[in-house]
Amino acid sequence: MSESEVSKPKRVRVMIVDDSALVREMLTGILSADPEIEVVGTAPDPLVAREKIKALNPDVITLDVEMPHMSGIEFLEKIMRLRPMPVVMISTLTQEGADTTLRALELGAVDYVAKPTQRLSESFGALKEEICSKVKMAATARVRGAGSARRPAAAAAQAAPAAAGAENHLDAIAIGASTGGVEALGELLSAVPPGSPGILVVQHMPGNFTGRFAARLDATLPLKVTEAQDGAAILPGCVYIGPGGRHLALAREANGKLVCRVTEGPAESGHVPSVDHLFRSMAQLGRRTVGVILTGMGRDGAAGLKLMREAGAHTIAQDAATSVVYGMPRVAVELDAAASVLPLSRIAGAMLAAGGATNAGGR
- Catalytic (active-site) positions: 178, 204, 300
Q: How far is CA 219 from the centre of its chain?
A: 19
Say how many residues make up the chain: 363
Pairing of strands 247-252, 238-241: unpaired
Residue 265's SS3 state is: coil
Measured on CA atoms in the order 312, 275, 97, 232, is the torsion positive or negative?
A: positive
Taking the C-alpha atoms of residue 35 and residue 266, their distance in angstroms, rounded to an integer, is 33
Beta bridge partners of residue 249, listed in sequence order: 261
Give 263-266's long-range contacts (Cβ < 8 A, gap of 24+).
263/230
Sheet holding 224-227, edge to edge: 224-227, 238-241, 198-203, 172-177, 289-293, 314-318, 340-342
Q: How far apart are the first and last CA of the chain?
A: 47
Residue 214's SS3 state is: helix
3-state secondary structure labels for all residues of 8-29 = CCCCEEEEEECCCHHHHHHHHH
DSSP code at position 152: P
- For helices 207-220 and 181-189, what crossing angle results, to 10°? 30
CB 195 within 8 A of CB 352: no
One-letter amino acid for residue 164 of the chain: A
- Residues in contact with 2: Cβ distance below 8 Å, sequence separation at least 6, in sequence order: none
